[in-house]
Structure formats: structure tokens, C-alpha cells
Structure 1
Amino acid sequence: MDTLRALEAFVHSIELGSLSGAARALGTTQPTVSKLVAGLERSLGVRLLRRTAAGLSLTEEGQRFHERSRRVLEDYGDAVADAREGIRQPRGLLRVSAPVTLGQRHLNAMALEFLGLYPDIELELVLDDRFVDPLEGRIDVSLRVGGTLPPDLVARRLGSWPRVLVASPDYIASRGNPRKPQDLLSHDYLRYAAGDDGVLLDGPEGPVPVPVRSRYRVNNAVAMLDAVLGGAGISLQPTWMVAELLAQGRLVRVLGRHTGPAQEMHLLYAPRRHQPQRVRVLVDFLAQRVAKLPGSAA
């Protein structure tokens, strides 16, 4: 029995959810995959998979064996990539996840530049404001903006960006320009749906909590930015998102001596002894480009 091939059949069957999916990934037939998995079970003397009308599931023994099998295949792939590294350019598929607004405003252009530098790499950019766990979502690199860092992943810090209060020129012309933090109480303040009422600002007088309430809350950064640009109110936004709009005059800074809590960015990826060359070059590329986003406080 080709043990390595059998491990590939087993791992792909679980991660793709079916024997037919594994067959397509391996370029073979479903009966062949079924025979490989059955042969693996016979050689181990344990049952790894339950096959039902609803699909495949792991036995208790299969759960333990799956994780180690995946690591064996990763180590083998790393060894092959390392051996070939000196004779060829990085190649293969990379899946990258990032928040929607960051992807639209900045990462999309970076991704196209990266593909121009590495013609043998394929790149899939997954934009989602929810954090996508790289291990569960088969993501090679995840760009995390704020939030708690998962303890089981490598986190490479990229920099810090202050949050600033912004509004459209039309809104300020209509409602006036706040002169002190407490003036925000008489303005329309826009916030994200997951946040709490109130805002904490830091200024010459130190931290200032302002108990603003919001009539409009939204869970999407693109929609929030569109609302601010449309004159709906004042919002606290990271400088990487609004620096260019401020420079263009499409937004104006409110309470210019005050900032909100800074927003940090990290690149997250799985801890492996030998990262594939394509992952290493992507991490280095993004680290350099993202650190240069406007408004960085380093």
C-alpha cells in the first residue's frame, strides 16, 4: 500500500467532506479513494471513518489520527518545497483573509502587485469582517485588525493606527464643528453595532469618556464609511481608512487634538517549522506594504 497516498486520501476526504471531493483533489476516482482509506484502516487495525447517508464523520480513533496525518503531509510538503526551493520560484495557491474595507481600500492593489512579482503563485483573497480562523478556514495568512490574538497562531505585528473623529464637510456646515468632547452629545454619532454606547477619547487633558448615544448603528465598515461620507454624522475611524479621504477633503477631522484607542494590525499564520516558500514571501511582502499604510503610529 502507498501509505503517503492513503494518508492524502484520508485527510482530503475529511477536509473536503466526501470521498468524491478527495478523488477530484487527487485526480483519481472515488472507488480508488475508498480502497486507499479502507487499506489504511486495515493496516492500522482501527476504523477511522463512519460512512452514512449524511456523509463522513471521524471515529474517536480517526480524530486523533487525522490531526497527526495532516501534520505528516504538511511536513512532507515542506520537505519537498525546501528541496526544490533553490531551483524554482515560489508557486502554488495562497488563501488570505482580511476585513472587507481593508481589502477593498488597500489589499486588493497589494494582491495584484504581489501576483505581478510572483507569476507562479495563485492568490485567493477572502474578505470578511468576521475573523476567519486560518486553521479552520484553510487560510494561509490572515490579517487581523484589532481584537484578541489567538494563542495557537503566530502573530506578526505590522503597526498601530490611531482612531480619529471624522465627518463630512456638509455635516459640519449644517450642524457645526464640536469644540470640546462634550459637544458630541448634541451631534449624531455613528458607531458599529457590536460596540458599546459612549466613546473614550485621549487628548491634552488625558482620557475623556463621552457618553454619546447612537441612533444609527451598523455592523459593516464599508456601510459605516459611506454613511459618514453621506453626511449622516460623526464617527471614530482608524487613520488607515480615512487618511486619504481627509487629504482629498471628502472628510474633515473633528476634535483634532483628540484620538480614540489605537488599532493594531497583525498577520496570523499557523506555527510550522518550515513555512512553504510561497507563504514566507507573502508574509514579508504584506509586512512591508501594510506597515506603510497612511496614518501609522508605528
Structure 2
Amino acid sequence: MDTLNAMATFVRAVDLGSLSAAARELRTTQPTVSKAVAALERHVGVRLLERSTARLAPTDEGRVFLDHARRVLDLQAEALDQVRGHARAPTGQLRINAPLAIGQLRLNAWLLDFLKMHTAVSAELILNDRFVDLAEEGMDVALRLGGAPPPHVVAREVGRSRRGVVASPAYLASAPRIRRPADLSRHEVLRFAWAASLDTLVLDGPRGTRETVPVAGRYRVNSSMAIREGLLLGAGPGLAPDWLVQDLLDSGALVRVLPAWHAEPQRAWVMYPSLRYRPARSRMLVDALCDSVPSWPGFRAA
């Protein structure tokens, strides 16, 4: 049995959630993949996968083996990189994770351009708004937004995005005037569900002033794209990072409310697992993101 090949097949089957998906990616048949995984299970003496019609999932022993298999495959890639040096362009697949909204609005198009420049590299972009354990889920790189990253990853802050109150011109034309932060209390403010502080906005203003404003509203949603759409539809004012609405501000579809006031900026981080060898393709992607994110619409250098 080709143990390394069987381990690679097992890892991809877990990552993709099915034997047939792994077979398609590896350009082989589903029975071939199934036989490779079964041979690996016989070799290690335990069952590694729970097979069901819904989704493939590792057993408890399979999860332990999965982590070790990733390390072995990383070491193999490192050995090949060291031997080959820089004689050829980076190759292989990247798995990248990012939040839905920034993935759709900014990262997706950028990544497609990146692949045009590096034709020997392929990419799998996984978009979701939950915090992903990069090592456990086999991610090479993640782009995340928010506060300080967890200690088990390596993180580089790559940009910051101003956060301010915005609204549609149509909403402002029919709503009470907003001249100062306290006026927001008279409006139904669109808010992000699960935010650290749902019922107040903390805004910094001219000459170092700061105001904490109680806000209310009947609508909260856990999607940045839904907040964006709600603002466009005139559902109310809302606090938004510039990267989410910069194109709408530029076109006039949204306008800044209280432009002299802003909340703490949103920080952008590029992260990768701290315990994994990073092949050349991963290092290249991280460096490219660090160079590019500050120039994306709505961002500035950290």
C-alpha cells in the first residue's frame, strides 16, 4: 500500500465531506478512493471514518489520525520544497477561510486574479462567519476581522477599516434630522445580532470627545450582507465598516451620517496555523494578502 497516497486521500475525503468529492478532485473513481481509505484503516487497525448518506465524518480515532496525517503530508511537502528549492513556481492547493461578506465583496475577485498569476496553484475558498479552527479544519490561511486573534495561530494585522454611521438618502429625507450622536436614539438603528453591545453605540468625535448613545430598533441580523441590503432599502441608519459600504458611498446610494464621528476601526488579520509547515504557495499567498488588503476599498494600512 502507498501509505502517503492513502493518507492524502483520507485527508481530502474528510475535508470535502465525501468519498465521491475526493474522487472527483483526485481524478479517480469513488471505489478507488473507498478502497484506499479501507486499506488505510486495515493498516492502522482502527476505523477512521463514519460513513452515512448525509456526510462523511471522522471517528474519534480518525480525528486524532487526521491531525498527524496533515503533519506527515506537510513534512513531505517541506522536504520536496527544500530539495527543489526555488527552481520552479509554487504548486498545489490552498484552503482559505474568510467571513462571508468580505469574501464575496473583496476576497473572491482578488483570489481569482491571484490564481491567474500563479497557474500551478489551485484554491478552495470556504466562506462562513463562525470562527474556524484552522489546524483542525485543514485551512492554510484565513482572513479574519475583529479583535485580537487566538493564541494558537500566527496572525499579521494587515489593515483597518473606519466604522461610521451611514444611511440611504431616501431614509434621511423622510426621517428626523440627525445633527448629533444623541439624535440616533430617535431612530430604529440597524444592528448586528450577537454584537458585544447591542443597545449602545460608542462614537469618537472631534477634539477627542466620546459619546455613548443608547439605540433601539426592531431588527437585528447576523449577516453583514443583510445589514448592507437593509441600509440600501432605507430600513434605518446603521454602523458599518467602510469596506462593507465603500462602493455605495462612492455611488451616492448611501451617505455618511455624522461624518465627524466614528467608532473603533475594524481590524483585518491574515492568520495561519502556528504548528504547521507552510509550503511556498502558502507563504506567497500570505505575503500577497499583506501587500494588497490595505489598498482594498474601505481599508487603510494598520
The corresponding residue for 2:160 is 160
Match of residue 269 from structure 1: 272
Cα distance between partner residues in 1 of 2:63 and 2:14: 10
* Counterpart check, 1:278 vs 2:281: yes
TM-score, structure 1 normalization = 0.84
The Cα shift of 1:75 comes to 0.7
Structure 1 residue 125: Cα displacement: 2.2
Q: For residues 215 and 200 of structure 1, do their structure 2 counterparts lie closer, same or farther at Cα, with a shift above 3 Å needed?
A: same
* 1:34 alignment partner in structure 2: 38
Between stretches 129-138 and 110-119, larger displacement belongs to: 129-138
After TM superposition, the structure 1 = structure 2 runs for residues 38-77 of structure 1, keeping only pairs within 5 Å, are: 38=42, 40-41=43-44, 47-49=45-47, 58=59, 66-77=66-77
Kept in 2, the 8 Å contact 1:165–1:255? The answer is yes
What's 1:239 paired with?
A: 242
Long gaps (5+) in structure 2: none
1:87 aligned partner, one-letter code: A
Of the two, which has the highest radius of gyration? 1
The residue that corresponds to 2:146 in the other structure is 146
Separation (CA, whole Å) in 1 of partners of 2:130 and 2:276: 28
1:200 aligns with 2:198: no
Alignment of 1:8-27 (within 5 A): 8=8
Q: Quick one: distance in 1 between partners of 2:21 and 2:104?
A: 32
Correspondence for 1:81: 81
Superposed displacement of residue 65, structure 1: 5.1
- Counterpart for residue 44 of structure 1: none
> Does residue 172 in structure 1 map to residue 176 in structure 2?
no
Report deviation, 1:297.
5.8
1:69 Cα deviation from its structure 2 partner: 3.8
Please tell me whether the aligned partners of residues 48 and 58 of structure 1 are also in contact (alpha carbons under 8 angstroms). no
- Counterparts of 1:184-263 in structure 2, within 5 Å, are 184-195=184-195, 196-204=198-206, 206-263=209-266
Please report how far the alpha carbon of residue 22 of structure 1 lies from its aligned counterpart in structure 2 after TM superposition.
Answer: 7.3
SS in 1 for 2:122: strand
CA distance in 2, matches of 1:279, 1:225: 32
Say which SS state the counterpart of residue 150 (structure 2) adopts.
Answer: coil
Q: Cα deviations across residues 92-138 of structure 1 (Å, max 9, x unaligned)?
A: 22222212221222112211210111111112222222233322332
More displaced, 24-33 or 88-97?
24-33
1:86-97 matches, cutoff 5 A? 86-97=86-97
Q: Distance in 2 between matches of 1:215 and 1:15?
A: 39
Offset, 1:66: 4.7
The answer as to whether partners of 2:9 and 2:33 remain within 8 angstroms in 1 is no
Q: Which digits, 9 at most, give the CA deviation of each residue in 1:46-104, with x for residues without a partner?
A: x43378776886566x7655533431221112211332342221222222221222122
Q: Give the counterpart letter for 1:138 in structure 2.
A: G
Q: Which amino acid aligns with 1:289?
A: S
- The alpha carbon displacement at 1:4 in A equals 3.9
For the residue of structure 2 that corresponds to 1:200, the secondary structure is strand
| Percent of aligned positions that are identical | 42
In the alignment, the residues of structure 1 paired with residue 278 and residue 145 of structure 2 have an alpha-carbon distance, to the nearest angstrom, of 23
Question: Which has the larger displacement, 191-200 or 83-92?
Answer: 83-92
- Aligned partner letter, 2:271: L
CA distance in 2, matches of 1:240, 1:53: 42
Residue 300 (structure 2) pairs with residue 296 (structure 1): yes
1:167 to 1:15, Cα distance in 2 relative to 1, 3 A: closer
Change (3 A) 1:147 1:2: same
Query: 8 Å contact 1:163–1:237 — kept in the other structure?
Result: yes
Q: Does the C-alpha gap of structure 1 residues 210 and 37 become closer, same or farther in structure 2, counting only changes over 3 Å? A: same
- Cα displacement (A) at 1:255: 1.1
Residue aligned with 1:265, SS: strand
Q: Distance in 2 between matches of 1:14 and 1:182?
A: 52
Q: How many residues align?
A: 291
Within 2, Cα distance between the matches of 1:112 and 1:219? 27
**Amino acid in structure 2 at the alignment position of 1:163:** R
- In terms of mean alpha carbon deviation, does 10-19 or 223-232 score higher? 10-19
